[in-house]
Amino acid sequence: MQEEIRSFISIDVEDPKILSGVRAVQSSLKNVGADLKIVGGENVHVTLKFLGNVPPEMLSKVREVLNGLKFSPFTLELSGVGAFPSMSRITIIWVGIGTGVVEVENI
């Protein structure tokens, strides 16, 4: 039996202005001494749903459902910054959604 894969459903962030803002936040946190592993722009995303550990044989079914989704383009504005599990022990930096949150919830 193959090992389960930690999985989530996400939207890639490719807008240069958003990526620039994310880099600025990363830089600010690094400058105040946060012990961070900075991820590249290709790994910046908006997580829609965390699936947890998924058996590999289920991933093709998940992909099939996702590939069948249809939605119109929409504007997304990022708002607010936080961290998991806390700001004093950062492992993941998150940025909230302002404009576009309804559209993301409807996907």
pLDDT at 82: 83
Q: Structure pTM?
A: 0.71
- Integer Cα distance of 56 and 54 in angstroms: 6
- The CATH superfamily holding the domain 5-106 is Cyclic phosphodiesterase (3.90.1140.10)
pLDDT in tens, 17-29: 888 988 888 888 7
pLDDT confidence tier of residue 12, bands split at 50, 70 and 90: confident
**Residue among 35, 18, 22, 51 nearest 88 (CA):** 35
Within a 13 Å sphere around the CA of 87, how many CA atoms are in the beta-carbon half?
Answer: 5
pLDDT in tens, 49-93: 999 999 999 999 999 999 999 888 888 888 888 888 887 777 788
Per DSSP (E only), the strands in the chain are: 5-12, 45-54, 78-86, 89-97
DSSP-based three-state secondary structure for 19: helix
Structural domain boundaries of the chain? 5-106
86-103 average pLDDT score: 83
- Which of residues 30 and 102 earns the better pLDDT score? 102
pLDDT confidence tier of residue 35, bands split at 50, 70 and 90: confident
- Integer Cα distance of 55 and 3 in angstroms: 7
